[in-house]
Structure 1
Amino acid sequence: MSDLWVTLTTARSGPPLWVVLLSALAALGVVSWSTSWQLSRGLITIAHEGGHALMALLTRRKLEGIRLHSDTSGVTLTRGRPRGPGMILTAAAGYVAPSLLGLGGAWLTSSGYVEVLIAIVIVLLFCMLLLIRNLFGVVSLLATGGAISAFTWYAEPDMDAALAYLAVWFLLLGGVRPIVELQRKRRYGRAPDSDADQLARLTFLPGGFWVFLFLVVAGACLVAGAYLLLPPAFKLSW
């Protein structure tokens, strides 16, 4: 346990600039290419539904369960007052959760605490697993957590860092695309029960405002996270 504590609390030096840029380009390619996006979008859905669940717990709503579907959609079921701040915050947390998680990951990764980030992700996946209420969701979380655990166990420390940078870039970039897709669906009337439209019914603000707010938060996280991920020497040169 003492060795584990030392590993978690010892900051390591960051990778060279080319690793940071290469991981960013790889994440951008995954998010931009339709085929790879459909295969990886479920990871963003996990973060999305996790955001709903966490906010529900923080606002003291009763969390009944989470379902993840094979079409990369998901639903988080809560019980409590049908209106009010708790319901509004819970509904608003989903689309911004991947970007906020990416920003937190960027801060930890840039500070050299890659192992802490990996440990937090595994713990969050385990906690979420306890709330899953369908078989596909269980398989998705077990596969994700198992892949991360196996990679970090067998890979060299430098490879752990590369994986962390790739994952953080994926969250920062992947947090933006679903918001753009949401507005496109709303424009053609294909998402009448989206989070933004639910928020419009809960508040006096239109759904378009909430989509814009989601996009502002995701964009700010992307800019701030990108700056954090740059090597210190490169930041000083600015």
Structure 2
Amino acid sequence: MSRARWVPAFTARWEGWRRLVRDLVVIQAGFALYGLAIDLLVRSRLGTSSWVVLEAGITNHVPITLGQSVIAVSVLLILVVVPCREPIGWGTLANMIFIGVWVDLWRPLVPATPDELTPGALTVRLSYLALAVLTMGFATGIYVGVRAGAGPRDSLMLAVARLAGISVRLSRTLIEVTVVALGWLLGGPVGVGTVVFAVTIGPSVQFAFRVLHVEPDPRRPAGSHRRTGSG
């Protein structure tokens, strides 16, 4: 009987202080845009990404902000994937903390969309949704390009795929459906925007990768960086 190959729990490549400082600045720019995209999704009031449905649903029952909910879910996922021997990097830990921080920082700065009865309100809300998809695509391209570790949600996807012996695509689909269902039960913002986001975020990320000249990490299987939600 073959023995499972041991995988280190933490991966890091030291390439000097100058490279580290540059990567920290770049990855924070990606996290800032990601947090902005989440707030745009919520403000659109058309529905959000699957993970934000869950995270916003949690805030209906626990007295915390959306950003704090994002951080709490990320911490829980890290506690799950580390025992599963899914490799993480310093970028994984930074993702766990800073996207939620940026969500709360941007929140008061993103204007609310007009009431439904206001002329042109739907156009504004659709614009928020489109801008959120484009912004999150570029945010993903920026921080994935640093190659400092997959986000907690992608790490869960990879762990499930590896342990269950299924494709990354099927793993992601099962997780997304489960997360949306849980978020909906908690009163999270499910709507037409949830479907639009799920269909368009992939092309948005692919477009950003092309513009930013980002290549998937060659140490990962093809498709492992496909994303449909926050980190």
Normalising by the smaller structure, the TM-score range is 0.3 to 0.5
Structure with more strand by fraction: 1
**Superposition TM-score, scaled by structure 1 size:** 0.31
Structure with more helix by fraction: 1
Q: Which has the larger radius of gyration?
A: 1
